[in-house]
Structure 1
């Protein structure tokens, strides 16, 4: 009763400040999401097909929503992480999540590292190979994560993400005022053909992020609950703010591609550094040449923040997953550090193989993310349907219906992709 009276006595401004201070896991999820799915997939969707895929992007975000929210609902209801829930369902479930996370950790971390390296090359003198730039980015990421300075970078990356969002909205407003570059008689190609199935899958793979990121959100929330007083209301506000901000930004990136690149006769560069320069030039050409290096710096820190976020999150998820398979409840910091090193070594091998092929690497990562997404979606759906949860956190009828629609959508598109790729 005393706590309730104290909270009720706070002014609206103080209550808002208190709510802002509890922001964390949801914003971290947004930080991890604003990477390849936005800067690459959404921009490419607009550049290739104009506005045709706007509804698809909205539907992807809508249909994935219940599965991401499951990480917040389950952890707030039980005090345990999603992976603890998988383990309670049975060893097979946590085993499946663990091995899928191994694959996702290596592929997704490698893709973001490669993208960060391509943007870093914008500033460094000389022509350092992308493999060397990638090693610099990966080494810096490991140093920050293992030195325990992730919280500081998290605060910086939130600020950078806000600035990038403002820059993107400003660029779209200016591009809208200037009008599209496509000629008036330009006929946009249709994305609704069999030849475009691969691109649609790539677009949906990381939109807004792979669903296994919900496991990382759950881990971050459990850690936050141990250090702060987090309520169900504040946790859901944090999640919804981060999630729907990424969805809206995806549409802005699509708009930028549709207005600045679509129908202009310009192809997206396939080389890593060339592609990153092209993205920066798109902003600079719209906002003004004065903004070139500012935009490049903001984009780099945004993707670099995403890289560190997934290095930290996936390593924690793998450390916890292995401990649960061994029937231990908690993982040690030593186990976490070991997984950071193992993920880094695997990433180096992947990066040396792909070298400068940024777009193929990102496309491969997004495709694999899409193929694993339905299985994580089903795990989260089954867990929240069977767990004992209070009424305010249990999914209502509308959310349950949306969850079933999402499963049909994800498994249906997976079946279509498998048929298109290997059976057609």
Structure 2
């Protein structure tokens, strides 16, 4: 699809948007929790799995940008063209994922906010989660895509700068290795579940590719960006997310690895432990720096997830109802509200199970990754000829994702010990 661009193909701040949204949506559970835990438990050993997950998922996320610029429609519309079975399955999975994902990341943001507040200001988790979710919801429904597009650039810029600063500070004063510390190897079947969860949301669930296509479609409509500009934006966001994953792994290594302290595995408990150990290692003054970094991570993830799920569900429902018109702002508003309100209800009544649900969501995201990957690959291939290099790259990615998913399923079914 050819679209005139007021930017005349130039590289400037305005062209960035969907790729940055993908990055901010990605850095919540996968980076702040899983990457940091990987560094805290296994040191640098799982850096290779983070790199491989980002590398082999790249073409299937990139296809979300290519497909919009080539056809003018979202990946979700492409799923509907391929088969209404794919459309129904994707939309049903989105409805469940929206509640779990938004609720889980909002709970983590609530824990961080509670950690930042002075002891004299004691508020319940329900109150704090209501504040976090309400601010995120108001931000989205009052500003819509344009405000989200502009604001998220500043979130990502602040996140990158503050994370780099935090890593340098931690590297200059790393935690002392305990005398009785024994390194743990992740290269065994017992650790496979952790590795699969780590890669499931690394850099994000592949369902986010369709969300990225929705943001890209909106970006083309509002700013008339070209395909080249769209790819620059996508690559900037994707590569930034991959680098941030390694930086958060480094934080876990420098602050917690080898300390002799048992690492908490539940998200909320781990957040508190991480920040307490950070301040113990560097000093009390760093409490607000690491809290700011963590909160920026989670706040950006909340607004990106709520908007992405809202837009994608609205698009899915439009196609299910055979509505030829674009999804209305009213429909996006209601489904964004569904994501935010549903997430808040989960926090309020099921906060004790959210950690388990988040782990399930991360693992299921990786198991489904080969399916979404194949679907995106087949869609793009059906309307244009891919280069030999991209074809080999994509097939290699499908083999890698499929092999690890099958290995995990075999272990889950008791076929491997």
**TM-score normalised by structure 1 residue count:** 0.88
Q: How does 1:21-100 map to 2 (within 5 A)?
A: 21-100=14-93
Kindly indicate whether the alpha-carbon contact (under 8 Å) linking 2:59 and 2:393 is maintained by their aligned counterparts in 1. Answer: yes
Aligned partner of 1:264 in structure 2 is 259
Q: Are 2:326 and 1:335 equivalent residues in the alignment?
A: no
Kindly indicate whether the alpha-carbon contact (under 8 Å) linking 1:131 and 1:356 is maintained by their aligned counterparts in 2. Answer: no
Kindly indicate whether the alpha-carbon contact (under 8 Å) linking 1:172 and 1:252 is maintained by their aligned counterparts in 2. Answer: yes
- In structure 2, distance between residues paired with 1:146 and 1:264: 45
Aligned partner of 2:191 in structure 1 is 196
Aligned partner of 2:388 in structure 1 is 397
- In structure 2, distance between residues paired with 1:358 and 1:164: 25
Coordinate RMSD, CA, aligned: 2.6
Aligned partner of 2:356 in structure 1 is 360
Q: Are 2:342 and 1:346 equivalent residues in the alignment?
A: yes
User: Which shows bigger deviation, 363-372 or 324-333?
Assistant: 363-372
Kindly indicate whether the alpha-carbon contact (under 8 Å) linking 1:171 and 1:283 is maintained by their aligned counterparts in 2. Answer: no
User: Which shows bigger deviation, 204-213 or 84-93?
Assistant: 84-93
Select 1:136's aligned residue among 131, 135, 139. Answer: 131
Q: Are 2:407 and 1:412 equivalent residues in the alignment?
A: no
Select 1:162's aligned residue among 157, 163, 166. Answer: 157
Q: How does 1:176-255 map to 2 (within 5 A)?
A: 176-179=171-174, 181-183=176-178, 186-255=181-250
Change (3 A) 1:145 1:252: same
- In structure 1, distance between residues paired with 2:261 and 2:8: 56
Shift of 1:227: 1.4
Q: Are 2:119 and 1:119 equivalent residues in the alignment?
A: no
Change (3 A) 1:181 1:397: farther
- Any idea what the Cα deviations from partners look like across 1:115-147, whole Å, max 9, x if unmatched? 111112123454433333223322222222222
Shift of 1:104: 1.8
Aligned partner of 1:292 in structure 2 is 287
Aligned residues: 409
- In structure 2, distance between residues paired with 1:43 and 1:155: 28
- Any idea what the Cα deviations from partners look like across 1:255-303, whole Å, max 9, x if unmatched? 2212221111123345665433333345445665333224313421331
Shift of 1:167: 2.6
Structure 2: tracts of 5 or more residues without a match: none
- Any idea what the Cα deviations from partners look like across 1:43-101, whole Å, max 9, x if unmatched? 00011111111111100000100110010000011111111111111212222221222
Kindly indicate whether the alpha-carbon contact (under 8 Å) linking 1:51 and 1:254 is maintained by their aligned counterparts in 2. Answer: yes
Structure 1: tracts of 5 or more residues without a match: 9-14, 389-393
- Any idea what the Cα deviations from partners look like across 1:364-403, whole Å, max 9, x if unmatched? 3312322332221121111111124xxxxx6422222121
Shift of 1:109: 1.1
- In structure 2, distance between residues paired with 1:361 and 1:130: 18
